[in-house]
Chains A and B, each alone.
Chain A
Amino acid sequence: MALIAAKKCRESFSELFDFYAPRVKSYMLRLGASDNEAEDLAQDVLVTVWRKADMYDRKQASVSTWIFRIARNRRIDRFRKASRPELDADEPMLRPPDIEQPDEALDRAQIEESVRAELAKLPHEQLELLQAAFYEGLSHSEIATRFGLPLGTVKSRIRLAFGRLRGQLEPGGTDA
């Protein structure tokens, strides 16, 4: 990434392209794009990566997370179709903030490391659910339908897994 930003190194770009373009394509296909669209979007995303390389900040995100963000936004621009949410009564967004912690600067590298480690430890059935939520962006009820699970089970499993990935033990977060 540094070489692409500073030196506009074409060789590094080719390596990056070979690794990420097929992953962007895979993501677009998974979300319903046609083969042509997926290929086109993958090109587009990697060209954007080249042009915005100097904006990449390794302290803010890993290369994968950063490229995924670009892919995600490109897809939204292209398809302009996204969900409108409806909030649950216990929706965390609606709560007042907890006693405001002294604003710890987010250590993204540390988050990255611990999420990676915890993901590797998750049992397959939890990983599947997380994938449906965080990669495909399905709602909890859609996930419940796909996996034939009660909604409450989906919610509590995801909440539990998310808590673990955040490095927290959530009180009361038992699996239903």
Chain B
Amino acid sequence: MMQETSPPSFSELYSAYAAGQLDPGFSLLLETQSMLRSDVRGALAVSETISGIMFETATPVAMSAGAGARALDLIDALEREEDLPARSAPSDAELAELPEPLRDAAFEAFDLAGWQGTAPGIRRMKLDVKSELEVELYRIQPNARVPRHSHGGTEFTLVVAGGFTDETGSYGPGDLAVKGPDDTHQPVGDAGEVCFALAVRDAGLKFTGVMGMIQRVLGR
């Protein structure tokens, strides 16, 4: 889209993700993107490996006496009451085509509340991934128009299948569109395939300074 393609370089999102410091909504976005793009997949694999090795080589801190035995007792207790209920067969064949881990989150939402229609050919579903952000899956029929809208904050939209086009360009699987508070747009589903897109949105709590640095609004 913008610059010439250079080798995918490092993103601080990758290390934040690997270290477990990224919001779960954004982690879902990144994991889903990694299923669609080998460059992101490779970068995440390396990042997690680095974190794993650092975890292994960090100076250990002694557990209290008898901690191991207590863990085994806990295991015994849990195994007596186990037998997880089997998951009922997913009710939507289309969703089964989505990449993991998005698929699980989508099934869960589908079983809970299902799709909500927003406009002709446009449906959406809120996903509960324990995020502080708003996380939604969109289903856009070919040639359907999402009503023109602006955003209270910033919206990140990852195309998972199919594609859409708006004033700024065309987006296909693996592409991420970012819209700031001042952008309004009217995406239209590309002809051919049904488009699925994952949107992660700042719910009113604004990302300040669009396109700045990673900001830890919520901090630790």
Binding site for B on A (CB under 8 A): 10, 13-14, 17-18, 21-23, 25-27, 29-32, 38-39, 42-43, 46-47, 50-51, 61-62, 64-69, 71-73, 75-77, 80-101, 103-104, 106, 108, 111-112, 115-116, 119, 130-131, 133-142, 158-159, 162-163, 165-166, 168, 170-173
Contacts and interface: CB of A to CB of B under 8 A. Distances in A.
Given A82-B20, A97-B38, A139-B12, A39 B63 contact: yes
15 contacts: A13-B72, A23-B55, A23-B56, A27-B58, A31-B220, A32-B220, A85-B26, A88-B212, A93-B40, A94-B1, A96-B5, A112-B49, A134-B19, A140-B213, A166-B46
Nearest to B72: A10
Interface string B61-89: 11110011011101100100000000000
B35 to A, nearest CB: 11
A86 B52 contact: no
Given A27-B55, A39-B64, A94-B176, 17 more contacts: A21-B68, A50-B71, A76-B24, A81-B218, A81-B220, A82-B218, A85-B23, A93-B13, A93-B30, A93-B33, A93-B40, A111-B49, A133-B15, A137-B20, A139-B216, A166-B43, A171-B7
B41 interface: yes
B150 interface: no
Nearest to A50: B75
B69 to A, nearest CB: 8
B91 interface: no
Given A61-B48, A94-B176, A162-B46, A22 B54 contact: no
Contacts of B18: 72, 134, 137
B19 A72 contact: yes
A35 to B, nearest CB: 9
